[in-house]
Amino acid sequence: MKIAFIAHDRKKDEMVNFVTAYENVFEGHELYSTGTTGKRIMEKTDLEIHRFMSGPLGGDQQIGALVAQNEMDLIIFLRDPLMAQPHEPDINALLRLCDVQGIPLGTNIATAEILVKALDRGDFAWRELVHKYKPGAEI
């Protein structure tokens, strides 16, 4: 599974704590993140994370490009709803793409925990079928 982590500035500590708590679940998956969030997670865990640019510098769009191609399987995006973000259009585009492609998306810690427990149980195996039967894939 390809999993992305994104966190606004005031949510980065919460993201690091969350990923640390579920490090054993995330092991063995392909992990992606925006720049600073990924750096902070790797400093506190043994996880390897492909880091894109910082969100405001295009990292949200880079992850969005994978979502648009249906190449991302799960996104945990801890948003700060009380702080205006200069790259709000990019954030909205990413959320919209997740809806279009049916990508599971957790935008708060409660939803993220439900998604990670489902991941641990194997409830997202259906995503393997998405990859197997997407246009251009060998059947």
Domain boundaries, the chain: 2-132
| Mean pLDDT along residues 74-92 | 86
In this structure, is the dihedral angle defined by the CA atoms of residues 66, 54, 113 and 106, taken in order, positive or negative? negative
Considering the candidates 13, 60, 120, 123, report the single residue annotated as catalytic.
60
Among candidate residues 54, 46, 44, 50, the one with its CA nearest the CA of residue 32: 50
Listed in sequence order, the residues at least 6 apart from 60 whose beta carbon sits closer than 8 Å to its beta carbon are 6, 34, 87, 90, 91, 93, 94
Domain 2-132 top-level CATH class: alpha beta
Confidence (pTM)? 0.90
Band (pLDDT 50/70/90 cuts) for residue 31 is very high
Among 32-36, 56-60, 67-71, 124-128, top mean pLDDT goes to: 32-36
Is 90 an annotated catalytic residue?
no
